[in-house]
Structure 1
Amino acid sequence: MKNVLIGGIGNVLLGDDGVGPYLVRMIAAHYEFADGVEVIDLGTPALEFVDNIAGRDAVILIDSVKLDADPGSIALYRKADLAAHAPSIRMDPHSPTLIEAIHSAEFYANPPSDVLLIGIVGASFEPSCTLSEAVQGSLSNATREVLRELDRLGIGHCRRIKAADPDIWWTKAPALPSETHV
């Protein structure tokens, strides 16, 4: 049995940056997986990110990316690709990059052997709890990439007969209390 993580990365309060958490919740609601597969909304991971990937056989991550490409486009990055494109400057001290987390796991002798980052080009990263139309339109293609990677790894999966509630709490508007007249 392989130990596989399907993780969504991103800030759900910054528009398209929340595509990772959104999509993993949708995937978990619509698909069942073989034992050993864990589907997690990682949010905006910091130092604990190493703990999430260490000891895994494979890691599939979904995140928004900023590329010179049309919003909604999908870019796939393997471990070697991530190492080749690792940023030389960290923007803040509490957010280790993916490649730094992989190197840390290697230091402790338990890195994932397979890593795939499914990057979805975002259109808007402004404060908002909704995804742009372009990113919404890419969700089925990104899901296919996750399933294709599971097939490549020999990991079983099937569509649920009845989808579960994806609990995408940040897209639900709270009900306003009804007015009471005395």
Structure 2
Amino acid sequence: MRTHPPELTCNACSDKPDRIVVLGIGNLLWADEGFGVRCIEALQKRYVFADHVELIDGGTQGLYLIQFVQAADALLIFDAIDYGLAPGELKLVRDEEVPRFMGAKKMSLHQTGFQEVLSLAQLTGGYPKQVLLIGCQPEELEDYGGSLRPIVKAAMQEALTLGLTELTHWGAQPQTREVPLSNREAVTMDELALAAYEAQRPGPESACREGDDRFFPAQVG
């Protein structure tokens, strides 16, 4: 799997931030759009961080996330981004370039809202000193109730490794949990935790995926 530049660590950014925010955005209910939130879920379950680090499931909250962005000295974002790459490929974008990439080819309303958050933070002088976007090219979005496709799910581990390297550079002090968090303690609800969500999803024979033939008959010709 290829990861696209820029380089992971920024040599010009040697100062350790006072407050670090790690943000995953997206919608768990639309297949690969849940990539960012799943990354946050995995980080929280597997690692503990220094007290000045906050992990946030940003979901599709849009402008409601402005307070977290403005309060951060360093911001790490995980999201599914349509870069026009092969499915599952990762691309890293930094600092002032992040808003431009978030709005280059919007996949959903949550990206429109979050691009506005970043732009507002810039206008108000509340833009973090260091920002890193770790974006993954999705394979499938039009699957309501679906989960991550295998190639995107496999990309999570590399994304987490890249994120942990950056967080260590920032002074987040990640440490592996001796006992992983239970689903009830994680940022996602128990029923939406990745394993439960995938296991409990009904099959196509009991839950319509592509439209009900009674109302959406097959096209003729």
Q: Which residue, out of 106, 122, 135, partners 2:138?
A: 122
Change in 2 beyond 3 A, CA 1:136/1:87: closer
Residue 48 of structure 1 aligns to a residue whose secondary structure is: helix
2:158 is the counterpart of 1:141 = yes
Change in 2 beyond 3 A, CA 1:17/1:86: closer
Higher helix residue share? 2
- CA drift of 1:55 comes to 1.7
- CA drift of 1:24 comes to 0.3
Q: Which runs of 5+ in 1 are unaligned?
A: 176-182
Write the deviation string for residues 64-96 of structure 1: whole angstroms up to 9, x where unpaired: 011222211111111232245463798769942
Match of 1:25 in 2: 41
Match of 1:173 in 2: 200
Once the two structures are superposed, the pairs formed by residues 61-100 of structure 1 within 5 Å of their partners are 61-85=77-101, 87=103, 95-98=112-115, 100=116
Write the deviation string for residues 43-64 of structure 1: whole angstroms up to 9, x where unpaired: 0122212122112111101000
Deviation >3 Å, runs of 4+: 83-95
Letter in 1 for 2:180: A
Match of 1:179 in 2: none
RMSD, matched Cα: 2.6
Q: Which moved more, 1:78-87 or 1:63-72?
A: 78-87
Change in 2 beyond 3 A, CA 1:25/1:73: same
Once the two structures are superposed, the pairs formed by residues 34-73 of structure 1 within 5 Å of their partners are 34-73=50-89
Match of 2:171 in 1: 154
May I ask how many residue pairs the two structures share in their alignment? 174
**Partner Cα distance (1:37, 1:67) in 2:** 29
Letter in 2 for 1:125: L
**Partner Cα distance (2:125, 2:153) in 1:** 38
Change in 2 beyond 3 A, CA 1:86/1:68: closer
Write the deviation string for residues 98-144 of structure 1: whole angstroms up to 9, x where unpaired: 3x323312333322111111101111002133110001111110101
Q: Which runs of 5+ in 2 are unaligned?
A: 1-16, 203-221
Q: TM-score, normalised by structure 1?
A: 0.84
Kept in 2: contact 1:45–1:95 (CA 8 A): no
Match of 1:109 in 2: 125
- CA drift of 1:156 comes to 0.9
Change in 2 beyond 3 A, CA 1:161/1:13: same
Q: Which moved more, 1:5-14 or 1:108-117?
A: 108-117
Higher strand residue share? 1
Q: TM-score, normalised by structure 2?
A: 0.70
Write the deviation string for residues 20-44 of structure 1: whole angstroms up to 9, x where unpaired: 1111011101000011111111001
Q: Which residue, out of 149, 164, 178, partners 2:181?
A: 164
**Partner Cα distance (1:88, 1:9) in 2:** 16
